[in-house]
A = this chain, B = another copy of it.
Amino acid sequence: MASAAGSWAEVAVEPGWLTEDELASARDRVPILYVEAVPVRVGEDGSVEQVGLLLRALPDGTISRALVAGRVRHGERLRAALIRHIERDLGPLALPRLPVSPTPFAVVEYFPDPTVTGFHDPRQHAVSLAYVVPMAGECEPTSAALDLAWVTPEEASGDLAGELVGGQHRLLRMALAHMGHAGA
């Protein structure tokens, strides 16, 4: 996953926040729980019209498209984690409409070894609960994201999907299939 969790973000002392050492220790011992969100714009009848893709600079200096993704903190509800990461990436006016059911449309297993599941996170074994989240407000990519592009479902399932890393292009296709779109 291409998470935006910069090192500065972990300095403050709040419940659930960890120092880099503490996080590294946990990462060596247990799977780390993540949430991921596929931002969408929907029509009046609820059908998807556009999919939001972040542009993000990775630690290795490369740039890639990405979905919203981030860690669930100790003591944090899943809905709170989703809102926190959506606000971090899309700003405070995005007005996300979280689904009524806490059941994700997909569960993805990321491993440091890319051959295990095809979903790859070099830092850790992470298990991610993925949701499609319609945005009702104004989305502005924040400091953690370089850009936000709204594309059609057809564009999202085509060439643009190839610009996501770590297997997120597959998760994007799974989201589109969940919404009734499965390519041409």
Tell me if A97 is interfacial: C-beta within 8 Å of chain B: yes
Which A residues from 70 to 95 make CB contacts under 8 A with B? Answer: 71-80, 83
Q: Is the beta-carbon distance between A177 and B179 smaller than 8 angstroms?
A: no
Residues 13-32 of A, flagged 1 when their CB comes within 8 A of B and 0 if not, give 00000100011011011111
Show 11 residue pairs from A and B whose CB-CB distance is below 8 angstroms, ordered by the A residue.
Answer: A26-B30, A31-B72, A44-B83, A45-B98, A46-B79, A72-B127, A97-B97, A102-B107, A103-B104, A107-B129, A170-B183
Q: Give the interface of A toward B (CB within 8 A).
A: 18, 22-23, 25-26, 28-33, 40, 42, 44-48, 71-80, 83, 97-107, 109, 111, 116-117, 125, 127, 129, 132, 134, 170-171, 173-174, 177-180, 182-183
Name which residue of chain B comes closest to A28, CB basis: B74
Residue from B22, B101, B171 in contact with A29 in the complex, judged by beta carbons closer than 8 Å: B22
Q: Is the beta-carbon distance between A78 and B100 smaller than 8 angstroms?
A: no
Please state the number of chain copies in the assembly. 4
Name which residue of chain B comes closest to A81, CB basis: B31
User: Chain B's nearest CB lies how many Å from the CB of A43?
Assistant: 9
Q: Is the beta-carbon distance between A31 and B180 smaller than 8 angstroms?
A: no
Q: Is the beta-carbon distance between B78 and A127 smaller than 8 angstroms?
A: yes
Q: Is the beta-carbon distance between B30 and A101 smaller than 8 angstroms?
A: no
Q: Is the beta-carbon distance between A100 and B26 smaller than 8 angstroms?
A: no
Name which residue of chain B comes closest to A95, CB basis: B44
Taking A74-B28, A74-B31, A100-B42 as contacts, is the C-beta distance between A174 and B182 under 8 angstroms?
yes
